[in-house]
Structure 1
Amino acid sequence: MPLKADIKILVVDDMSTMRKIIKNMLGQIGFTNITEADDGATAWPMMENAIKEGAPYEFIVSDWNMPQMSGLDLLKKVRATPGLEKLPFLMITAEAEQGNVVIAVKAGVSNFIVKPFSAAVLKEKIDKIFK
């Protein structure tokens, strides 16, 4: 794996079970520095604080559908923020609708994964993002 194991990852999903599954998969792949947020609205201030502390997140794995701030809104906010325009962002969704993929790509998503997925698929998507 070309990536550092301690790359700073933020997993954003409103379902704690899903966050746990994603964290476990990331752990299986070999990542060790994983933080979680339960919504885009929670994730954003965490990201701002991390930047202030000089240790910004290096990779975001976010669900699309969340109550207060969706993954798409979080992505748009990230892309509109100086210094974060290129932050690797993996969107997870239950909707395999072509339209959503197009919307996410236009908004600048790094890659896209559809639920359900395996650790192998997650690794493949991450490898594509970081190559």
Structure 2
Amino acid sequence: AVKKQLKAYVALQKKGSYTNVAVTIDVPKELLNVRIPTGLLQPLVENSFKYAGNEASASPSILIQARRSGTILTLKVEDSGYGESNRQAGTGHGLSLVKDRISFNQSRSKKPKDWTLTTSFKKEKGTVVMTMPT
């Protein structure tokens, strides 16, 4: 489920104007069938292509990683795009949608604190980390 979703999003983006972006999908076998609620991954992947694929990045790259620790799934999307001043500290429409979906899932969860979203934007590196219960 997770890797299949990611491959579909990546293939879609690479058909557009982002053919030069190198993408690494790092998902262990035991997480291949973990289900991710609709609308959480796609905006993160789209944003990473948007920023990694800009002219400022000489070697555009994206790392998409999934890990599990106990009952917590951590998804990380990291790109080589330009830094915080250009991204306005994660206030864009894509991240706003993801934040809304996380809030919705928190309201329905027995473990609402397990749902988190953090962002870090530095020079030539943007990172978004999302956690959720499995």
TM-score, with length taken from structure 1: 0.31
Between Structure 1 and Structure 2, the one with more strand by share is 2
- Higher-Rg structure is 2
TM-score normalised by length of structure 2: 0.31
| More helix by percentage | 1
